[in-house]
Chains A and B, each alone.
Chain A
């Protein structure tokens, strides 16, 4: 990105003042290197978001941002329904509520190392992953609707997980306001056999070692101890979310003119929050959030079942579950006045600071856990929301490393088999049905997650709690 077009606010924040049709400024959080490496398309897309009706505060960009669809991936924007604000299917994206959850195991690394190969094989066999994979669960129409309303709470009621898991999930595991009747039969059909499946692409399940602790008090509260093992799951709302995104994107793009909305990019397809279409999308999108929460909850139980057989001394407890691609109604202070805003986070993580009323009591003092996935073979991070995040980014932070290279370029540079062998030398086991998929997800195709995390902390969005390094990676 050409920094000549930006105003520098601090070492880790940049601003584009409103001009032309922009209603608010763009604020980008990144250090000098991250921002110079950032795609010019990110600036273009963040500026486009700043032109949308009813936007409040700024069009925010997180340090891991890259070229997305309409919104940049790593984009955050809030809209006021009473000021003609919009909800955007493009602003949420195709993989609604794609997210990450981390489970502590209480096991020392040495215990897992002793049976690492067998554990990797068990996990790869037990958690359906990859194109064409099917779960063991097939939902009837009635159960589908119950799942879309109940989310992770539905899954727990049916035996996938523990009641205490729910308080460690955003929205306590159940997104209110879901309307299964606003979800098409096509979307439901696409999801029918996909519950409890990981998917493919950048989705994964990792067994990780807690390599470093940066905030001892928060780590203790989060159940993280150096030298122990955690399990992290990254996946989303599967076919249902993809289909909802596809259908509403088109409907909103075709309807924009009738709403008098000028779209600088069709992918920003949106509708007024206070419109029939806007409300219908919100009902369907919230159902997709529940689908993602239920899916990660089922996979959690599949993981627990594997550990119960292979390492029965493990005690798998849910640290937290975060969602990335969402639009949620939250209260934020704007100009000193609290407003209910529709906050879009596209490839960004909610990061409530300490004391936020939505946090579970055990975590309230430390801020919301922010789980940041690295690339396969590099590190991941656990951060915690900071009080400063509210004013800076509507309590939002980064979500991952962010791609630095296209899949096309990655394929030219690496082969899956060589990568698997190289990572094995470093003690990391990769299990994937697709060697091409492994090559496309090569660690070198991603940005340096440490730089992203450092910029996130230095900007005041979320602080470092622990660094995780991979032992086993199961990919679709």
Chain B
């Protein structure tokens, strides 16, 4: 009985935190989704919030844009780091360290800092327009604002995956590479027949966390375009924030959260099944 007692004592703080800031909020969110809830009032209104989601142009666009961001960015931030890691993992260890550091720098600057630089680079007579010989208002017109946000997001989202891929590739048994060389495999054949199949679970895992990660995008639109122009870059999470903390509609925001979790959860589930089925 003594043992029982101390185990629970040690687990208690984590358990309290788990109940208060994980279990309760999830349940409460599902409840709030069916209420007209604001700062001072709460009233049951059935499915009205969910109907409102489909009626509101900005929320519908938020969901569509979120899916577009996932579709465009998630594959890029999965595959581009893979290519870089494939090119890099046979290099000498100082070169590998250099690659990891170089690609990790933008990750460290990601967020408000990187937004500022891009605001300057993308201004109408900024460097990007000068280099490409255009005069596009990148952040002020559709569909350019969407592409601009994609580029900014991707630039800060490669480093971690490169590190993880390189570690996975380094873990592949050297004997397999040696055997392949003896059989006269070219490096490209080695990549395709040995390295890639062996790290396939890692690729699936990265794709999964990137899909989920990209789905939560809100900061760059919030900082650079305020979700505009004409809601062209608003996202589901940004709309949760706007509806709740700008307009005080907690119920509607919770309903967006519930739909968001269901949609992203379904996509993530299908992705997992797809990768497991093929491996």
A, B co-complexed: no
- Partner-B contacts on A (CB < 8 A): none
- Partner-A contacts on B (CB < 8 A): none
